[in-house]
Chain A
Amino acid sequence: DAGITQSPRHKVTETGTPVTLRCHQTENHRYMYWYRQDPGHGLRLIHYSYGVKDTDKGEVSDGYSVSRSKTEDFLLTLESATSSQTSVYFCAISESRGQGANQPQHFGDGTRLSIL
């Protein structure tokens, strides 16, 4: 397994509460990603990071924020959770070798988040 740890693995919380998910890597890879996976939609990119303090939005970024203060950690925050954010969240990492072909992404084990 690529050295990726997601925490927590499961969380149940109430609407309106803040939630932070953590992704920790030991591979020293430059790129880190947060996805959500829902039935019928596949994997959708929320935010990604291309270096410390360098982040950008993905396809479904509304309602989410991220931070990356160290190479190894990428945090995803739901400031005020809503039921529509109930999902499975995956973190992924990849190396970068400049322009041209992308390097494969490797995924963590996921966090199952339920918002009641």
Chain B
Amino acid sequence: QKEVEQNSGPLSVPEGAIASLNCTYSDRGSQSFFWYRQYSGKSPELIMFIYSNGDKEDGRFTAQLNKASQYVSLLIRDSQPSDSATYLCAVNMEYGNKLVFGAGTILRVKS
């Protein structure tokens, strides 16, 4: 069973702080990693994707990938109350164009 694990949270951070969301995966052959944000009652929205080891930055968001440790993370700088949502980590299967999703981490940013 290929798995993606996330801490369910909630993760609470004060406004302006850095939020760090973590994800581990079991399939060593995975090559593509995605972070989605989902507000309550809404559909998942793509935030970041990363394919190579290291960091990828986009505005206030940074995705970090360590394939050796099978670990991917999402950093949100200068967290805002509007960032409060569930963050889903998704990892591709080794073969095929399918993703496995983690159960998500609830983030709460307190003003």
Interfacial residues, chain A to chain B (CB-CB below 8 A): 31, 33, 35, 40-45, 48, 50, 56, 58, 90, 94, 96, 100-110
Contacts and interface: CB of A to CB of B under 8 A. Distances in A.
B103 A94 contact: no
A42 B106 CA distance: 12
Contact of A102 (B31, B42, B46): B31
A107 B102 contact: no
A40 B100 CA distance: 15
B99 A105 contact: yes
Given A42-B102, A45-B99, A102-B92, 8 more contacts: A42-B101, A42-B103, A44-B101, A45-B100, A48-B97, A94-B97, A103-B97, A107-B45
Contact of A110 (B43, B90, B97, B101): B43
A40 to B, nearest CB: 7
A102 B33 CA distance: 9
B104 A102 contact: no
Contact of A104 (B46, B102, B103): B46
Contacts of B31: 100-102
Given A102-B92, A109-B43, A96 B104 contact: no
A104 B44 CA distance: 12
B46 A43 contact: no
B98 interface: yes
B98 A43 contact: no
B21 to A, nearest CB: 14
A49 to B, nearest CB: 10
25 contacts: A31-B97, A42-B88, A42-B101, A42-B104, A43-B44, A43-B88, A43-B101, A44-B101, A48-B98, A90-B43, A90-B44, A94-B97, A101-B32, A101-B51, A101-B92, A102-B99, A104-B34, A104-B46, A104-B49, A105-B34, A105-B46, A107-B43, A108-B43, A109-B42, A110-B43
